[in-house]
Structure 1
Amino acid sequence: MKKWASLIIFVLLLSSFPFMSAQPWVTVFEGRVKIGESLIVGEYKIYLTLEKNEMKPYAIIYEDKEIKKIVGQGNLTEVGSIRVVLGSYNAENEDVFVALQYKPPLTKEITPKNGASFEVGDYSLKVMDSGNESVLLSINGDDIEVRANSVRVYDKLALEYIEDVLRVYYANVEVDRKVRKDYEVYYPFRGLKVKAGDEVQIPITVYNNGNKELNLQLKILSKPLGWDVRVLDESGKYEVNEIALNPKASAVLTLFIKISEDASGKKGIRFAVGEEISEITLDVVKNAGIDVIIPMLGVETEAGQSVTFPIIIKNRGEEKAVKLEVTEKPAGWNAYFLMGNQRVKSFLLEGEQEITLFVEAPRNAELGEHKIGFSINGIEKNVSVFIYKTYKGEPAKILVIVKDEEGNFVKKAKISTGDETTLTDGYGKAKIELKPGEYKIFVEKEGYETVEEDVTLEDGEEKTLEITLTKLPYYFELEGSGDTVAVTAGSIGSYTMSIKNLGKEEDSYLLSTFDVPEGWSAEFYYAESPMRKIKINPGESKEVTLRIVPPFNAQPGEYNLTIAVDSSSGLEKRINLVVKLIGEYKFEMYPETPMVNIKAGKEGIAYLSLENTGTAPITNIKFEVSAPQGWDVKVTPQVIPELGSLYFEEGNVGERTSEPKNRLTVTIKVPETTPAGTYQITITGKGDQAQASTQITVRVTQSSNTAYIGILILVLTFGAVIWMMRRVGRR
């Protein structure tokens, strides 16, 4: 069914290419082709392969070994004289349906006449009948009718009948199918330079690429006379004549060659693995008196590691001097010879001696294979080192561990190199990441001598550096409780500081203050006792308190003073302290008279006194009034810019700019309709720093005319009530 489906697709694709006014095509191949196989038609080659990610087949079309086009599945592709279409793909069998057409050249052109005959290639053609609508031919005994204006294909012939002219096209080509082998044979050396009498072992790897088990015979087809050549297993212990390989499996063999002592010149060895024939050429050098045997020709390692190659030197004659020389190595690599643990360049040899070629690969070595060449008494040899992992371009990491003389970890030690600076943690450790190169590492810590170390870091290297710091004989640490202390006016401020002796010896410390404001007091206390000098043992610390007393009339603000601590060794440390003096902001308001009498409809005046009872001026005092509805109350002045402090004295900090007392005038206008009685007016003063309020009591009285009118209204009202009672009662 798959084949028929492919044919249908092929026919549909071909239908899109009309045959009229164009040369016809002849199908020269159709069938299933395995992945990896090729179809060759003249100068064209169609190679079938598989896309590895999506596992879809495709074909590569070559013309004279040059890639022309890539053919995808289901696409009709034309290149020169061929066109190809790929049909269905069978993943289990790894094959795909291929239809291949060839565009044949015009070979014969005639006007057909009944009975006429002619030959084209291996085909005999005879005209049986001809007319306007068709021509009937006999080809190799088969009757073929070609209708007018159409093409008929017979085997490799394409017949075209147009306007009573018969054109014959002949595809004189053969399709050569190159079958894929299901296995591969790999061996690293095609030619070796060896010495007479040497034993050579060459690894051979056989891969089964197919899906079936393979049985392959192993044969030595030809070898030089007197040589011992065998195929051994990987260990070199057993001779092997045949191997069995499971699908997708591989086997490693050893081609063992024992060269005769009298051999010289180039010699060839041919061997077969199944149907695969291989050949190795050996250039044999005559024995010069020394045999050099290298068991390992190539090793694998990662960059930054060292590898060794054992070398056996045999002296076939009298005792002689052996000179060793490394002739070739990659830049930055190191290679030398060892005899035991000693580096050697030459020695006397009698009999046999084993030496070692020691190779050091740098951490920035390039990936791939690297050659190390050397000479032993003029005999040139080389080995290879394959780098499968490199650290080239990777940053180096250094772990610095800092301890003191007693082995204790030193925390917060400063580690600096170049532009990098860091501090050690609580365990005395610090990690730094640097580019490869040479560096100077500086380790610093207060109370210790600075240490300098030279470090060389390679690509991706991780190195640990242990540093021991030595304490200075005299050194101390001064640490305060900040750089600011707040003191409230009229109170005592305290500032605590710690003095720690970090030196090796006992030391005494003199404490003093500078730039203390005039009139202020600053004294040091230890254990509640005043002091100026204190002794501290090595490694101990003591807390000292500075008591600060500002004068009673000191203005609020910031004041500066300096604390100095001098050790007997001459080392001094200072703390610049800012003292913030916080003032008390408070003022009072009170009326000068307890009560004000005002007649309704009239205006009265009351006076209020303001007094600053705090220690600091109060600024921008504004006034708010709360009075009965309809009353008009005004305060003069409306704003007092500053109300000075009672405790301010001229010459203390600056000149006085305002008085501590002030007087307000309050104008009160009472509406005429206000009933007689007692009323309260609340006045509140609000400054930037504080506020206060007071009340004024107002007693309102009525005028005499108003009293008379009130009596008259009462009499009239009373008379009206009596009149109404009499009238209603009579009814």
Structure 2
Amino acid sequence: MKKKAFIIVFLFLLSNYPLINAQPWVTVFEDRVKIGETIIVGDYKIDVTLEKNEMKPYAIIYEDEEIKKVVGQGNLTEIGNMRIVLGSYNAENEDVFVALQYKPSLTKEISPKNGASFEVGDYALKVIESGNESVLLSINGDEVEVKAKSVRVYDKLALEYTEEVLKVYLANIQVKREERKDYELYYPFKGLKVKTRDEVQIPITVHNNGNEELKLQLRVLSKPFGWEVKFLDESGRYEVDEIALNPKSSSTLTLFIKIPENAKGTKEIRFAVGEEIGEITIDVVRDEVVDIAIPLLNVESEAGQNITFPITLRDRGEEKVVKLEVTEKPASWDAYFLMGNQRVRSFLLEGEQEITLFVKIPRNAELGEHRIKFSVNGIEKNVSIFVYKTYKGEPAKVSVTVKDEEGNFVKKAKIIIGNKTAFTDSYGKANMELKPGEYKVLIEKEGYETVEEDVTLEDGEEKTLEITLTKLPYYFELEGSGDTVAVTAGSIGSYTMSIKNLGKEEDSYLLSTFDVPEGWSAEFYYAESPMRKIKINPGESKEVTLRIVPPFNAQPGEYNLTIAVDSSSGLEKRINLVVKLIGEYKFEMYPETPMVNIKAGKEGIAYLSLENTGTAPITNIKFEVSAPQGWDVKVTPQVIPELRSLYFEEGGVRGISGSENRLTVTIKVPETTPAGTYQITITGKGDQAQASTQITVRVTQSSNTAYIGILVLVLTFGAVIWMMRRVGRR
């Protein structure tokens, strides 16, 4: 026994020196471990336990409370970044030698130079000497030589020197050790031979060897698909999932196992009481007339897919009538049997036959596992499908493509599905989103026969519909260049419209106008020629122009008229047109007297006339005055609310503006103003236009003022002569 253990450990330690270019391993734990103790390495937990019947140690490796592997004595087992081996077992001390290695990660890669130093984790490294054959390092004060093309392990470091490159690996992992549990698990047998539909009850005894109360969970870790396995109390009446044990006491449980009718072969059941693992092997003996082979038992799929389970049936040397029946399936799922492409419920089996269980998953299937049960000649079987993606509650998407009989895309076709409406684009396509359900699809387009179809939409479904529309024998489309046209008074307005024959036959069209304002002219032209009727071939279109001429005295505003197009086949189209007549806003101001004479210090009056020379009224005219400084100029009235056109008509009589178009300008000249000619500018500003004019004012002096001026001149000349004589004597 000791020799065998030594060889195992020796082989394990040899694995510390892998071949060149292989991933190195670092030993992170090696010691004797008591049965029941636990070693924790990173995310892994290793429970060391003992098989009670054969007294052999083994280790159970957990990751996140899930059993990943069970390691027996003498086996080198690798899991993730760790490997483990169990060596010799000492029955007297109840301990086993355990060695653990961890795959370190590459932390540093350098070309070593003498004297270079660096740190890796808690290790300080310094290059003492490097060469082609080896590199000598100081690690935390210890000299370590790494030979070329080899790996050297130092504590949790692995060092590899290849082609003058030093690679440093670090096993940065913590190892903890927990004491063993103070309880034991006993059950009388590990192997059973049973028949189908048998019920087996296995007593399991749990001893609490400790000095404290224990609460242990009961779990079934693994069982054959379709088998019923559960824990019952000692009486076998109640199902339990946890037990409580007083110190130094025992409790007996019952492991209940029900063998299904379709069971066969050797099966294993694994269970756990607390952290103690138990295992039972059951050999099922059965006598079947038909062998049933189902290679696929559980598959994964997203909702909306079709799944097939191949089934092979073999007889036992004689012909048999095989009856097939799907006995259970999820609601709204569809499942049936196929032989080739034919649905079958029974057939004559001779030798071997392949059949298929076809399962259609609805798109609104619930997430999770779903079971389909079926029977072959009364032998119950089942398979399951795990739905990992569903479209439940998602809207369905419908893509509709509309074409005509010649395969051309039909644009602006109206698509009505439920309470939603869409129109096709230039490629005849329209996309819509709707809730799952059954709908009527209505497709309408002027000039085509209406099409109606039924459609069923499932959750999240993407469905494509192709619709063909048939043209009507007679139909035309009338399109205008808008519903308004602007015309300036006294000019000609143009409105263009297109007539397109969408029918299958040639047709002619009569054009006319209604509600044309009195005095207006409205005529149709095609190719610069007046016309009233036009003939158009199928599929062709022609442009017609309506020329509108308002009378010269028409007032600005909006006028309505109607364009009518009637086909010889009895169809008619109308355009209600609004004609916006735009007026000309313009007025003039001029003085009635070109010049006004005013004496200095006096007041004078001038008159201005205003005339609206446009075609539309001008409103809210106010006046601004520009005059010499100190002059007082007033305009009366200060505001003219409306200045009507010279050409307005009332009662059929043309008139002009009256007194309201005359302005009175009062001008007061200061007394000190020298005689002369002066200009006054008056500007009228309305809401729509403005105009300006000038008044010339000639200022004259009074007679007294003239005499005073002459006297001043005489005195001035006298003073000059006296000064000249006096200066001359000197």
Mark yes or no: TM-score above 0.5. Answer: yes
Quote the Cα distance in structure 1 between the aligned partners of 2:610 and 2:357.
105
Deviations 1:85-143 (A, max 9, x none): xxxxx97554236799x9xxxxxxxxxxxxxxxxxxxxxxxxxxxxxxxxxxxxxxxxx
Deviates further, 400-409 or 561-570: 561-570
Gaps of 5+ in 1: 1-30, 41-46, 53-89, 103-171, 176-184, 194-262
Secondary structure, aligned partner of 1:721 = helix
Deviates further, 346-355 or 697-706: 346-355
1:405 aligns with 2:401: no
Displacement of 1:548 after TM fit? 0.6
Deviations 1:39-85 (A, max 9, x none): 99xxxxxx999999xxxxxxxxxxxxxxxxxxxxxxxxxxxxxxxxx
Secondary structure, aligned partner of 1:674 = coil
CA contact 2:440–2:452 (8 Å) conserved in 1: yes
CA contact 2:313–2:353 (8 Å) conserved in 1: yes
CA contact 1:564–1:575 (8 Å) conserved in 2: yes
Quote the Cα distance in structure 2 between the aligned partners of 1:690 and 1:271.
104
Quote the Cα distance in structure 1 between the aligned partners of 2:590 and 2:569.
65
Q: Give the number of aligned pairs.
A: 510
- RMSD of the alignment, in Å? 3.8
1:699 aligns with 2:698: yes
* Percent identical: 79
Quote the Cα distance in structure 2 between the aligned partners of 1:447 and 1:265.
69
Quote the Cα distance in structure 2 between the aligned partners of 1:33 and 1:358.
49
Quote the Cα distance in structure 2 between the aligned partners of 1:99 and 1:295.
45
- Give the direction of change, closer, same or farther, for the CA distance of 1:668–1:347 in structure 2 (3 Å limit): same
Counterpart for residue 373 of structure 1: 373
1:363 aligns with 2:366: no
Secondary structure, aligned partner of 2:474 = coil
The letter for the 1-side match of 2:347 is: F
Quote the Cα distance in structure 1 between the aligned partners of 2:262 and 2:517.
108
1:508 aligns with 2:508: yes
Quote the Cα distance in structure 2 between the aligned partners of 1:191 and 1:675.
128
CA contact 2:403–2:468 (8 Å) conserved in 1: yes
Quote the Cα distance in structure 1 between the aligned partners of 2:533 and 2:587.
45
Displacement of 1:391 after TM fit? 2.6
Secondary structure, aligned partner of 1:410 = coil
- Give the direction of change, closer, same or farther, for the CA distance of 1:668–1:316 in structure 2 (3 Å limit): same
The letter for the 2-side match of 1:698 is: V
1:599 aligns with 2:679: no
Mapping 1:535-546, distance limit 5 Å: 535-546=535-546
Counterpart for residue 147 of structure 1: none
Quote the Cα distance in structure 1 between the aligned partners of 2:512 and 2:268.
101
Quote the Cα distance in structure 2 between the aligned partners of 1:282 and 1:38.
29
The letter for the 1-side match of 2:609 is: S
Counterpart for residue 444 of structure 1: 444
Structure (1 or 2) with the larger CA radius of gyration: 1
Deviations 1:675-725 (A, max 9, x none): 111111112222222222211111111122111111111111222222233
Counterpart for residue 620 of structure 2: 620
CA contact 1:264–1:284 (8 Å) conserved in 2: no
The letter for the 2-side match of 1:696 is: I
Quote the Cα distance in structure 2 between the aligned partners of 1:313 and 1:398.
43
Displacement of 1:436 after TM fit? 2.1
Displacement of 1:568 after TM fit? 2.1
Secondary structure, aligned partner of 1:711 = helix
Secondary structure, aligned partner of 2:548 = strand
Counterpart for residue 580 of structure 2: 580
Displacement of 1:660 after TM fit? 8.8
CA contact 1:611–1:660 (8 Å) conserved in 2: no
Displacement of 1:515 after TM fit? 1.3
Counterpart for residue 345 of structure 2: 345
CA contact 2:447–2:476 (8 Å) conserved in 1: yes
1:34 aligns with 2:34: no
Counterpart for residue 308 of structure 2: 308
The letter for the 2-side match of 1:189 is: P
Secondary structure, aligned partner of 1:706 = helix
Displacement of 1:312 after TM fit? 3.1
Mapping 1:174-323, distance limit 5 Å: 189=224, 278-287=279-288, 289-316=289-316, 319-323=319-323
CA contact 2:224–2:268 (8 Å) conserved in 1: no
Secondary structure, aligned partner of 2:650 = coil
Quote the Cα distance in structure 2 between the aligned partners of 1:32 and 1:192.
32
Counterpart for residue 482 of structure 1: 482
Quote the Cα distance in structure 1 between the aligned partners of 2:332 and 2:549.
73
Displacement of 1:395 after TM fit? 2.6
Quote the Cα distance in structure 1 between the aligned partners of 2:177 and 2:348.
72
CA contact 2:38–2:46 (8 Å) conserved in 1: no
Deviates further, 378-387 or 691-700: 378-387
Displacement of 1:322 after TM fit? 3.0
Gaps of 5+ in 2: 1-36, 50-59, 66-155, 157-170, 183-208, 213-219, 229-260, 271-275
Counterpart for residue 72 of structure 1: none
Deviations 1:405-436 (A, max 9, x none): 10111122222212332222222222222222
- Give the direction of change, closer, same or farther, for the CA distance of 1:99–1:310 in structure 2 (3 Å limit): closer
Displacement of 1:543 after TM fit? 0.6
Quote the Cα distance in structure 2 between the aligned partners of 1:305 and 1:613.
83
Quote the Cα distance in structure 1 between the aligned partners of 2:225 and 2:333.
28
CA contact 1:496–1:546 (8 Å) conserved in 2: yes
Quote the Cα distance in structure 2 between the aligned partners of 1:481 and 1:421.
26
Quote the Cα distance in structure 2 between the aligned partners of 1:377 and 1:271.
28
- Give the direction of change, closer, same or farther, for the CA distance of 1:50–1:270 in structure 2 (3 Å limit): closer
Quote the Cα distance in structure 2 between the aligned partners of 1:617 and 1:452.
59
- Give the direction of change, closer, same or farther, for the CA distance of 1:284–1:398 in structure 2 (3 Å limit): farther
Counterpart for residue 165 of structure 1: none
Deviations 1:570-603 (A, max 9, x none): 2222111111111112222222222222221222
CA contact 2:648–2:656 (8 Å) conserved in 1: no
Mapping 1:327-726, distance limit 5 Å: 327-651=327-651, 659=658, 662-726=661-725
- Give the direction of change, closer, same or farther, for the CA distance of 1:38–1:383 in structure 2 (3 Å limit): closer
1:96 aligns with 2:176: yes
CA contact 1:365–1:387 (8 Å) conserved in 2: yes
CA contact 2:223–2:268 (8 Å) conserved in 1: no
- Give the direction of change, closer, same or farther, for the CA distance of 1:470–1:269 in structure 2 (3 Å limit): closer
CA contact 1:620–1:688 (8 Å) conserved in 2: yes
The letter for the 1-side match of 2:720 is: V
CA contact 2:38–2:47 (8 Å) conserved in 1: no
CA contact 1:303–1:362 (8 Å) conserved in 2: yes
CA contact 1:631–1:671 (8 Å) conserved in 2: yes
CA contact 1:642–1:658 (8 Å) conserved in 2: no
Secondary structure, aligned partner of 1:716 = helix
CA contact 1:268–1:279 (8 Å) conserved in 2: no
Secondary structure, aligned partner of 2:671 = coil
- Give the direction of change, closer, same or farther, for the CA distance of 1:565–1:284 in structure 2 (3 Å limit): farther
Displacement of 1:536 after TM fit? 1.0
- Give the direction of change, closer, same or farther, for the CA distance of 1:292–1:674 in structure 2 (3 Å limit): same
Quote the Cα distance in structure 1 between the aligned partners of 2:498 and 2:385.
63
Quote the Cα distance in structure 2 between the aligned partners of 1:285 and 1:462.
49
1:730 aligns with 2:726: no
CA contact 1:190–1:279 (8 Å) conserved in 2: no
Displacement of 1:270 after TM fit? 6.8
The letter for the 2-side match of 1:34 is: I
Deviations 1:144-174 (A, max 9, x none): xxxxxxxxxxxxxxxxxxxxxxxxxxxx968
- Give the direction of change, closer, same or farther, for the CA distance of 1:378–1:421 in structure 2 (3 Å limit): same
CA contact 2:38–2:48 (8 Å) conserved in 1: no
Quote the Cα distance in structure 1 between the aligned partners of 2:551 and 2:226.
105
CA contact 1:643–1:660 (8 Å) conserved in 2: no
Quote the Cα distance in structure 1 between the aligned partners of 2:225 and 2:280.
7
The letter for the 1-side match of 2:575 is: I
Deviations 1:616-667 (A, max 9, x none): 2222222222111122222222222222222111146x99896497222222
Displacement of 1:567 after TM fit? 1.8
- Give the direction of change, closer, same or farther, for the CA distance of 1:271–1:651 in structure 2 (3 Å limit): closer
Secondary structure, aligned partner of 2:711 = helix
The letter for the 2-side match of 1:643 is: L
TM-score (norm 1): 0.63
Deviations 1:593-616 (A, max 9, x none): 222222212222222222222222
